[in-house]
Structure 1
Amino acid sequence: MRQFTAIVNPTAGGSAGVAVLLRVARLLRQAGAGLETEYSRSLEHARDLAREAGQRGRVVLAVGGDGIAGGIGGALSGTDTLLGLVPAGRGNDFARALGLPTEPEALARVLLDGAPRAVDTIEVESVHGRAVVLGSVYAGVDALANRHANRSALFKGAASYYAGGLRAVASWRPAAYRVTVDGEQLAHRGYTVVAANSAYYGSGRIIAPGARVDDGLLEVVMIREAPRRLFFALMQELKSGDHVHRPEVRIVQGREVRIEADREVPWGADGEVDAVLPVTARVLPGALTVLG
């Protein structure tokens, strides 16, 4: 029977995570599994707790949204520690890419009986150092929108992403990017560049329909300069992934992507935004083992 260590960050929407965890924990314990809960003080502390639990041979549960999932998943990348997700955040996009259920009984069955699965992670390098993340690296208006969403006191959940997106697009001026994919330089002027391991970002938006978490490739999505009214329409199409059929959208695949721009452009990963370009993202094939 699996032995679990659940890690919750109470300062980052942890109350919702605790509520979800309590329902799942009851089912795990009823089935005979062991479960301990750790409360982290920060994302870095959560990483430390995850590494320590993994060294004790426990299955680590990341409880929350994409921030804590990406932080803990990045810390466990390249190890043999098994990761489980308990989706309880605003976005839950990597859990969505794994096809995880949100209903507690079904999720508990996955955690108890699900077969381990090797998935890719993304190594990120910038002037701020090196990190490993799970879902995607994005640079442009979406990173600005995410920054607004993270700071929003008025809107919560998916609404914060939508409101943040409207605010970001209203003030955005297209940037001139230099995107290098596996050594090939691509000129791009527009709204964003996304290096996607997962199809989803921004709370269920299908930015890269062709992305797979286990194919050893990044899907690089570039959205070119367009009238704002067209970009707002394109934002709506992210719900279905239909934006990829527009001529303003270019998609290529690669294993390593470097993104630069002619001015200060924010970039983020897994729902966290605290940096500006340049950034390099490279895929780490099969580096993380997850339940899902």
Structure 2
Amino acid sequence: MLGFIINPVSGNGRGAAVWAKLKQHLERQGTPYRAFVTKNAGEAQKMAVELLQKEEVTRLVAVGGDGTVNEVMNGIYESGKDCMFGYIAAGSGNDFARGHSLPTDPLQALDRILSEKQGEVIDLLKVNGRVAVNSVGAGFDGQVAKTTNEAGYKKWFNRLNLGMVSYVVSVLRVLYSYKPCDAFITVDGKSERLPRVWLIAVSNIPNYGGGMMICPQAVANDGVAEVCVVSDVSRWGLLRAFPLIFSGAHVHHPAVRFYRGKHILIQAERPLVVHLDGEVAAVTPITVEVLEQQQTVLK
């Protein structure tokens, strides 16, 4: 059985418009399905569990943004059921679609899902009992995610299909007041103290924040996470280097270093805001564990 979980307000209402097209297409083809439309944050995860445990759904499709992907994937993980995951992009950033080369056209994405191809098995990132699909960020980018999600301008940029601009505006706002601090990172048992850390990003795909290439070498099914650390740089130096992240050229900057591993412990001198796939979920200290070959994605 095919199941859908739809976030109608994602992308400033794009989710509802996309679902209307998909529903018409499904009914025209006579495809049987179950569907839930969310009303509040957190419902997608509960709905995913219910569809998998009560409706015998074997293919579950998220229609929304990266936050919806995160909730549905956590529902699949919580249920313990073997289920293939599909995604139809209708958000502002759509990093999951970009990171896995999924179609941006809703009907084209649906046709691929209905083709019943085997799909690709990917890794997930486990943090404090939850899972992330794209990335985990602590520090500056966690604060940026929090600021963006609370900002009134996010919906205006979404209306113009300029979701990444919201993130850029938030970066500039947070940069003005954010204070870096010393942090400690342990990757597969090897520890290091890092001075004046701005951010630590653990990634399963190259991009986050609506397309920024934070970890260009990240691969979703290689069994390890890519870790990007930005530290020991002035506020002005960080601002000057910021445009490099759009092309991935920041990898050559002296304030940027990378690690790879399966178990990552992040600690800091003060609690740092942590996001999972762009949604604020915790504060440091955290442990990120790579769950290898955990989830099949329909492509």
By the TM > 0.5 criterion, same fold? yes
Instruction: Specify the alignment match of 1:27 in structure 2.
Output: 25
Instruction: Specify the alignment match of 1:184 in structure 2.
Output: 190
Instruction: Specify the alignment match of 2:97 in structure 1.
Output: 95
Structure having the larger proportion of residues in strand: 1
Deviation at 1:12, TM superposition (A): 5.4
RMSD over aligned CA atoms reads: 1.8
2:175 alignment partner AA: V
The CA deviation string for residues 211-246 of structure 1, in whole angstroms up to 9 with x for no partner, is: 011111000111112122321232211111111111
Q: Which of the numbers 120, 127, 144 marks the counterpart of 1:124?
A: 127
Q: Which moved more, 1:130-139 or 1:5-14?
A: 5-14
Q: What is the 5 A alignment of 1:110-189?
A: 110-113=112-115, 114-125=117-128, 130-155=129-154, 156=157, 157-189=163-195
1:53 and 2:51 equivalent?
A: yes
Instruction: Specify the alignment match of 1:195 in structure 2.
Output: 202
1:182 alignment partner AA: D
CA distance in 1, matches of 2:101, 2:153: 30
CA distance in 2, matches of 1:34, 1:59: 12
CA distance in 2, matches of 1:144, 1:176: 16
Q: What is the 5 A alignment of 1:135-284?
A: 135-155=134-154, 156=157, 157-189=163-195, 190-284=197-291
Contact residue 50 and residue 75 of structure 1 kept, 8 A: yes
CA distance in 1, matches of 2:193, 2:254: 16
The CA deviation string for residues 15-53 of structure 1, in whole angstroms up to 9 with x for no partner, is: 311111222333344444223321224443311211222
TM-score normalised by L of structure 1: 0.92
The percentage of counterpart residues that share the same residue type is: 32
CA distance in 2, matches of 1:31, 1:237: 46
1:67 alignment partner AA: G
Instruction: Specify the alignment match of 1:80 in structure 2.
Output: 82
TM-score normalised by L of structure 2: 0.90
Q: Which moved more, 1:36-45 or 1:242-251?
A: 36-45
Deviation at 1:13, TM superposition (A): 5.1
The CA deviation string for residues 76-118 of structure 1, in whole angstroms up to 9 with x for no partner, is: 1353111111111111111211111111332122211243221
Contact residue 88 and residue 110 of structure 2 kept, 8 A: no
CA distance in 2, matches of 1:112, 1:182: 40
Q: Which moved more, 1:188-197 or 1:205-214?
A: 188-197
- Which runs of 5 or more structure 2 residues have no equivalent in the other structure? 158-162
Q: Which moved more, 1:42-51 or 1:163-172?
A: 42-51
Q: Which moved more, 1:11-20 or 1:95-104?
A: 11-20
Deviation at 1:14, TM superposition (A): 6.9
- Which runs of 5 or more structure 1 residues have no equivalent in the other structure? none
CA distance in 1, matches of 2:64, 2:12: 7
2:73 alignment partner AA: G
- For residue 50 of structure 2, give the secondary structure of its aligned residue in structure 1: helix
The number of residue pairs the alignment matches comes to: 286
1:226 alignment partner AA: V
